[in-house]
Amino acid sequence: MGGARDVGLPSVHRSGRLPERVTIWEVGPRDGLQNEKSTVAVDVKLEFVQRLADAGLTTIETTSFVHPKWVPQLADAEQLLERLERRAGVRYPVLVPNERGLERALAAGVEDIAVFASATETFAKRNLNNTLDGQFALFEPVVARARDAGMRVRGYVSMCWGDPWEGDVRPEQVAEVAGRLYDMGCWQLSLGDTIGVATPGHVEAVLAAVTQRVPVDAVAVHFHDTYGQALANTLAGLQQGVTTVDSSAGGLGGCPYAKSATGNLATEDLVWMLDGLGIEHGVDVDALVGVSTWMAEQLGRPAPSRVVRALAE
Ligand code: HMG
Ligand code: MG
């Protein structure tokens, strides 16, 4: 493998308002693997998570404590966490939809959870078997009990830039859902473009509405790359003060309950852009490409990431 340095790592060119450092929230083992047709063996998942940490990722969303019939790909959450050697300085958040999920997470010694809300009525039904309003009643005791137990709770908001059943989503609606999660005690809100339809101007509009309701320091962005806009959308988010970006190694991902959701923004593509902008992130792009190339072999198909394809042998 040649590696980033041999192909001309981008020299630094900064412009406009950009942060000095970005936290990458790696979602490959959760958002990536939840959408695979086949279930990946627990040994492979363990190696994936460990190699992501080796590459410098310090937040690795590891699995979900959801109903195993809803997401069979992650039904091994207990086994995975029992065998995972957790490292100092690395956080391993998991998704939790309800109190049953929280009990499982507590028993597994988890320190970081994420509840996941919908900005739309239809997706609340399809993803949580609930209503838009009902989802808050579902999460309220989860967030309260988790915080009492000393956990950090992130709140996702899905369908922030469009919903395949309802079409356009009003930015004020997204701000309202994010605000309610923030008031409930979520320390961070991750705004999801679940089906990857956003474009940069639209990102600005939603962030403008959300940051009227919650501080920008508490906002992360989560773009899927269905229409190839995820990186442009991320840049728009950084220019508006966002400093946490979700991505998945190799561009794995999607959502089994949202038609047309494809992979997340690839972590390698994000890292390449951040390097060019001189923004710190702590990830070794060559090591990460090695992980994604290995994972693609396990899955039997090439990684969607352009940077992986450019840098791999
Ligand atoms: P439900 O069927 O309404 O559940 O599903 P229920 O509360 O009526 O319970 C039914 C049975 O399930 C009971 O068992 C419960 O104990 C059991 P019984 O008494 O009948 O034997 N049960 C559970 N078992 C294990 N773990 C649990 C659990 N909860 C209930 N946690 C539920 C409601 C929320 C559980 C279901 O809808 C579910 O699991 N949904 C998860 C869907 C999911 O994981 N989607 C993907 C993640 S979201 C995403 O990808 C978007 C994101 O990336 C951001 C973006 O891109 O926008 C985050
Ligand atoms: Mg997602």
pLDDT per residue as tens, the chain (313 positions): 456 767 767 777 776 789 999 999 999 999 999 988 888 999 999 999 999 999 999 999 999 999 999 999 999 999 999 999 999 999 999 999 999 999 999 999 999 999 999 999 999 999 999 999 999 999 999 999 999 999 999 999 999 999 999 999 999 999 999 999 999 999 999 999 999 999 999 999 999 999 999 999 999 999 999 999 999 999 999 999 999 999 999 999 866 666 666 899 999 999 999 999 999 999 999 999 999 999 999 998 889 999 999 998 6
Flag whether 10 is in a domain. no
Buried-exposed string 285-301: b where 16+ CB fall within 10 A, e elsewhere: bbebbbbbbbbbeebee
Return the pLDDT at 80: 98
Global pTM reads 0.96
Return the pLDDT at 235: 97
Flag whether 6 is in a domain. no
234 C-alpha to ligand 2 centroid (Å): 14
Return the pLDDT at 76: 98
Return the pLDDT at 11: 74
Flag whether 5 is in a domain. no
User: Which of 67, 156, 159, 257 for mutating ligand 1's site (highest number of atoms within 8 Å of CB)?
Assistant: 67
Flag whether 178 is in a domain. yes
Ligand 1, CB within 6 Å, residue ranges? 31, 34, 64-67, 70-71, 95, 97-98, 100-101, 104, 116, 127-129, 156, 158, 192, 194, 222, 224, 255, 257
* Domain of residue 139, residue span: 19-311
Flag whether 13 is in a domain. no
Return the pLDDT at 38: 81
Tell me which residues are annotated as active site: 255
- Nearest ligand for residue 159 CA: 1
Q: Which tokens hold the place of 113?
A: 């959870």
* DSSP symbol at 227: T
Q: Are strands 112-118 and 244-247 parallel, antiparallel or unpaired?
A: unpaired
Return the pLDDT at 182: 98
- The pair phi, psi for residue 60, each rounded to 5°, is -130, 105
User: Which of 66, 221, 222 for mutating ligand 1's site (highest number of atoms within 8 Å of CB)?
Assistant: 66
261 C-alpha to ligand 1 centroid (Å): 19
**Count of domains for the chain:** 1
Return the pLDDT at 48: 98
226 C-alpha to ligand 2 centroid (Å): 11
CATH number at residue 237: 3.20.20.70
Flag whether 4 is in a domain. no
Nearest CA to ligand 1 atom 43: 127
Return the pLDDT at 258: 67
- Nearest ligand for residue 75 CA: 1
Flag whether 8 is in a domain. no
**Residue among 98, 137, 134 nearest 115 (CA):** 98
68 C-alpha to ligand 1 centroid (Å): 8
Q: What size, in residues, is the chain? A: 313
Beta bridge partners of 114: 95, 154
**Residue 235, Cβ density class (10 Å: 0-12 exposed, 13-18 middle, ≥19 buried):** middle
- Nearest ligand for residue 104 CA: 1
Flag whether 201 is in a domain. yes
